[in-house]
């Protein structure tokens, strides 16, 4: 393991916020992880578990210990002519893992390409993009209870997945650390091309009979055009969730705003948060070094020296204006620390 003290987190978090942690411990094996957790039970310092630091906003220094999970390993646990089950350790880079699966001809994750972060954090957030959620491929997760160190497997049903949600963000928040995720992937592919601009991008690529590799490439191209590179402008991708409202509320809103972007979901309707934010005039807005991205208003940006509080204040203003104009509450997708 590697331990650092009083360390700046600016180069670690994708927002580029210059805060410090009292201690940063990077673990590379499950044995090291259990050792650190055992020590934590004795020192009782505040504890934060991180993977890729890609979906967090620090607003203050962290006066405790951060465990960075860098446990690696990918293996096949079951396989037949049609499906394969793959176990991926929590510290694997998510996009590299997706790319590896696509290269092997294992389908199901290609629409989730280029999402930043680690494998171990994807079930917590139930990451999703372009009509696909990671829950659709997960069979189970391996976890360790942070206090008791008891190991436990959670089935897909026990994870209680929801829209950008899981049991690990609700009643079990802060109680378990995920160490590995199992995915059931297909060798006979059913491509999902209807969401977003995937079909148009495939046409632009002059692809008429697309493969999962073509879909991955199309998603990567779209995301690179729409989303800023954190190495250039600090950000955490989508800052807000797309709100889901009742059909009755949508009917009233659509009568007043007939061009409202929406996605029907059984008896409810999901709205495009980016559209709502743009209609309120925030697209391209900037306060000092905190801003709303000029091409994708769902993304809040640190243009250089913004602090976490600057980003959080801007987010609050965006939420207030959307609530005032549409009566819709935007929920932050990013985890605020501090």
C-alpha span between 92 and 25 (Å, rounded): 17
Of 166, 104, 91, give the one whose Cα is nearest residue 135: 166
Q: By 3-state DSSP, what share of the chain in percent is helix, strand and coil, each rounded to 5?
A: 30, 30, 40
The residue written with tokens 């055992």 in the block is 38
Of 121, 298, 107, give the one whose Cα is nearest residue 193: 107
In angstroms, the Cα distances linking 45 to 37, 86, 252 are 11, 35, 50
Any catalytic annotation for residue 333? yes
Helix (H) or strand (E) holding 49: strand 47-50
Q: How far is CA 130 from the centre of its chain?
A: 13
The size of the chain, in residues, is 338
Which residue among the candidates 8, 158, 160, 164 is catalytic per the annotation? 164
C-alpha span between 136 and 155 (Å, rounded): 12
Helix (H) or strand (E) holding 38: helix 30-43
Any catalytic annotation for residue 233? no
Tokens of 64: 């405790």
Q: Which residues are catalytic?
A: 164, 238, 333
């Amino acid at each position: 393991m590697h331990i650092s003290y009083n360390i700046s987190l600016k180069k670690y978090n994708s927002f580029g916020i210059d805060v410090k942690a009292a201690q940063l411990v990077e673990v590379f094996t499950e044995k090291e992880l259990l050792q650190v957790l055992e020590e934590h039970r004795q020192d009782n310092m505040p504890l934060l578990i991180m993977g890729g630091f890609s979906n967090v906003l620090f607003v203050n220094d962290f006066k405790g210990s951060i465990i960075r999970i860098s446990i690696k390993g990918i293996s096949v646990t079951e396989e037949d002519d049609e499906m394969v089950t793959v176990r991926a350790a929590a510290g694997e880079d998510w996009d590299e893992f997706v790319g590896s699966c696509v290269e092997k001809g294992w389908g199901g994750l290609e629409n989730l390409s280029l999402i930043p972060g680690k494998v171990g954090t994807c079930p917590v957030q139930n990451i999703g993009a372009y009509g696909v959620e990671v829950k659709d491929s997960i069979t189970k997760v391996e976890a360790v209870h942070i206090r008791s160190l008891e190991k436990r497997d959670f089935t897909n049903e026990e994870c209680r997945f929801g829209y950008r949600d899981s049991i690990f963000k609700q009643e079990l928040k802060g109680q378990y650390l995920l160490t590995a995720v199992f995915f059931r992937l297909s060798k006979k592919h059913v491509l999902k091309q209807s969401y977003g601009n995937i079909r148009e991008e495939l046409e632009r690529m002059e692809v008429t009979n697309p493969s999962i590799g073509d879909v991955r490439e199309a998603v990567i191209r779209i995301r690179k055009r729409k989303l800023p590179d954190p190495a250039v402008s600090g950000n955490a991708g989508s800052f807000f969730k797309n709100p889901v409202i009742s059909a009755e509320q949508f009917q009233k809103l659509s009568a007043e705003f007939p061009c409202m972007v929406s996605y029907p979901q059984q008896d409810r309707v999901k709205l495009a948060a980016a559209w709502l934010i743009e209609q309120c005039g925030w697209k391209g807005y900037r306060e000092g070094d905190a801003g709303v991205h000029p091409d994708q208003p769902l993304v809040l940006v640190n243009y250089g020296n913004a602090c976490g509080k600057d980003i959080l204040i801007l987010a609050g203003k965006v939420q207030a204006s959307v609530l005032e104009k549409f009566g819709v509450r935007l929920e932050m997708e990013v985890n605020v620390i501090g």
